[in-house]
Amino acid sequence: MSLTSRIMDFFSRKSTVMVAETEQSIKKQAAMGKLTARQRIEALLDNASFHEYDLFVEHKAEDFGMDKKFLPRDGVITGTGDIVGHPICIYAQDFTVAGGSLGLAHARKITKIMDHAVKLGIPLIGINDSGGARIQEGVNSLAGYGEIFFRNTLASGVIPQISVILGPCAGGAVYSPALTDFVFVVDKISKMFITGPEVIKTVLGEEISMEDLGGARIHSEITGNAHFFAESELECFEQIKRLVSFIPWNSTKKAEKFPSKPPKAKYNINAIIPKESTQPYDVRDIIKSLCDDSDFLEVQEHFAANIVIGFARLNGQTIGVVGNQPLVLAGVLDVDSSDKAGRFIRFCDSFNIPLLTLVDLPGYLPGIDQEHAGVIRHGAKILYAYSEATVPKITVILRKAYGGGYIAMCSKHLGADFVFALPTAEIAVMGPEGAANIIFKKEISEASDPDAMRKIKVDEYTQKFANPYKAASAGYIDAVITAEEVREHILHALHIAENKQEFRPYRKHGIPPF
Ligand code: HXC
């Protein structure tokens, strides 16, 4: 082939692939209220920063008429670019090409960009819009997913991995995201299930809609599979940009530092925490009273809302915040909140993000439902995650810190570097009412006026334990501070802990209570 015909050949092949994208896909996706794979990449990445690779990769499948099927890009776009100035690797599946299904060539494009991300030490973003393993390619497509799962696992804790679900995703197209750090979903567009309604109808004879089976709300509120929920694709991309700005490129780096900003004056701890210790308040207002510009990026906002997790900045430096939420179930720890916090703590620890823990909880939630749901095993996850974490750990006890909850919420005993308490803190094995009823049971029942005796005993217990001073006298609290002093103490602790190093005995890896 002469040089001229080689050039002509190149342009005609390239335009075939591009036309397949622009004409058919835009119409098909738009009909489903969705952007195309390329439009998504362009909307998410910084202007003109995207560079595509492997445009000409084609499948080699032959069965079921596949030998006659041209699948542009084999249904996935891969490349590199920038998000808010941070370099990233990205892939986006194209649902208009065989339902975004994953054959071997498609998988190899993804594993190639994954390997690239690990070698270059930059985040991986996967936009999933796929019916899972390509049925026509049989075991080859299963092999493809296996190779992706293997890489997701090896990349875990090395580079941040972000999954975006933008269509009906089944099988491998949800298991790969489940192995990644953050999953983004969009209302009415995202669906996640191990297999779709057609198969359920065939196997179980049941009719169910995709939305009821695994819509965006289900995974944001009930299963906890999704970490961020958006109303539209564009809102979702803004959320991803915000997340990327908070996290480092890889586990050897720290997050980008921003100029320090004071919190907004309208958030004031004294005005937020009610005088009466049984009254609720929104812990997110406390977070906003402490962090730069009162800017808090909440993670898993709609799941296990009795605990709040997310990213903020203090003195321009990213921190991970974990706080009991007195507004929901009095902020108890339970199966889901332990899962939620445990995983977040491990992410922060892997990526050098200091942890700030805000404590106000009556303990672990008792009862048959929780016991049978495995609160012992799941509840242990938060104990494990805090104990394992070696990033700077700063704890502020705002009010109640009872029983296992006191220990679990990053107490000194689990390796907190700094534990501060407000004068309103109550640290005890349980609340004064419950404690008095148990340890003074006999005195109360034998008293001529049991109610009066109970009140005396409750007051006695409160005086002794429902304050921070007993724990402070034992050295379990480093300082009892006023509400006005909290931000300054945290800033100082972060500054002092800037170069913290903590060595642990060698091991291949620990065995967390999965
Ligand atoms: C090949 C597929 C496909 C697949 C969809 N398509 N899924 N082709 N392999 N897995 C094709 C359809 O044939 C169709 O092609 C086009 O994509 C659009 O699909 P529709 O069914 O028309 O779309 P919709 O009604 O929106 O339903 C989407 C869907 C459904 C829910 C994803 O297609 C579905 O249930 N697919 C199978 C899902 C599944 O069970 N996957 C699991 C695979 S196993 P045409 O040519 O008509 O446009 C797996 C291994 C996991 O992934 C391992 C885990 C450990």
* 490 alpha carbon, distance to own chain's centre: 24
Section 29-34 average pLDDT: 88
| E runs forming strands in 198-238 | 228-230
Please determine, for residue 3, whether its predicted confidence score (pLDDT) is greater than 80.
Answer: no
Minimal-distance CA residue to ligand 1 atom 42: 171
Q: What is the pLDDT of residues 156-194, one digit of tens each?
A: 999 999 999 999 999 999 999 999 999 999 999 999 999
Give the other-Cβ count within 10 Å of 510's Cβ. 9
Minimal-distance CA residue to ligand 1 atom 29: 131
As a whole number of angstroms, the distance between CA 437 and CA 442 comes to: 9
Q: Which of 28, 34, 64, 101 to mutate to test the pocket of ligand 1 (most atoms within 8 A of CB)?
A: 101
Structure tokens at 217: 């709300």
Minimal-distance CA residue to ligand 1 atom 21: 99
Name the pairing type of β-strands 355-361 and 317-324. parallel
Minimal-distance CA residue to ligand 1 atom 33: 131
Section 409-417 average pLDDT: 98
CA 328-332-337 angle, to 5 degrees, is: 85
Domains and their CATH numbers in the chain: 3-246 (3.90.226.10), 269-429+467-496 (3.90.226.10), 432-465 (no CATH)
Q: Which residues contact 307 (CB under 8 A, 6 or more apart)?
A: 322, 323, 324, 325, 331, 333, 337, 340, 341
Mean pLDDT (the chain) is 95
Q: What is the pLDDT of residues 192-241, one digit of tens each?
A: 999 999 999 999 999 999 999 999 999 999 999 999 999 999 999 999 99
**What's the 198 CA to ligand 1 centre distance in angstroms?**
9
**What's the 193 CA to ligand 1 centre distance in angstroms?**
11
Please determine, for residue 89, whether its predicted confidence score (pLDDT) is greater than 80.
Answer: yes
CA 235-298-346 angle, to 5 degrees, is: 120
As a whole number of angstroms, the distance between CA 222 and CA 56 comes to: 41
**What's the 35 CA to ligand 1 centre distance in angstroms?**
19
Minimal-distance CA residue to ligand 1 atom 19: 99
**What's the 133 CA to ligand 1 centre distance in angstroms?**
8
**What's the 125 CA to ligand 1 centre distance in angstroms?**
22
Closest-lying ligand 1 atom to the alpha carbon of residue 100: 17
Q: What is the pLDDT of residues 331-348, one digit of tens each?
A: 999 999 999 999 999 999
**What's the 25 CA to ligand 1 centre distance in angstroms?**
17
CA distances from 370 to 363, 374, 384 (A): 13, 6, 19
Minimal-distance CA residue to ligand 1 atom 48: 98
**What's the 171 CA to ligand 1 centre distance in angstroms?**
9
Residue 268's nearest CA partner among 249, 295, 289, 247 is: 289
As a whole number of angstroms, the distance between CA 450 and CA 436 comes to: 12
Residue 69's nearest CA partner among 77, 59, 57, 78 is: 59
**DSSP state letter for 67:** G
Residues with CB under 6 A from ligand 1: 98-99, 101, 131-135, 142, 145, 168, 170-172, 175, 195-196, 198-199
**What's the 7 CA to ligand 1 centre distance in angstroms?**
37
Contact at 8 Å (CB) between 375 and 364? yes
Q: What is the pLDDT of residues 260-284, one digit of tens each?
A: 999 999 999 999 999 888 899 999 9
Q: What is the pLDDT of residues 424-448, one digit of tens each?
A: 999 988 888 888 889 999 999 999 9
Structure tokens at 116: 């690239």
The per-residue pLDDT for 1 is 72
As a whole number of angstroms, the distance between CA 331 and CA 310 comes to: 16
Minimal-distance CA residue to ligand 1 atom 40: 195
As a whole number of angstroms, the distance between CA 194 and CA 172 comes to: 8
**What's the 107 CA to ligand 1 centre distance in angstroms?**
16
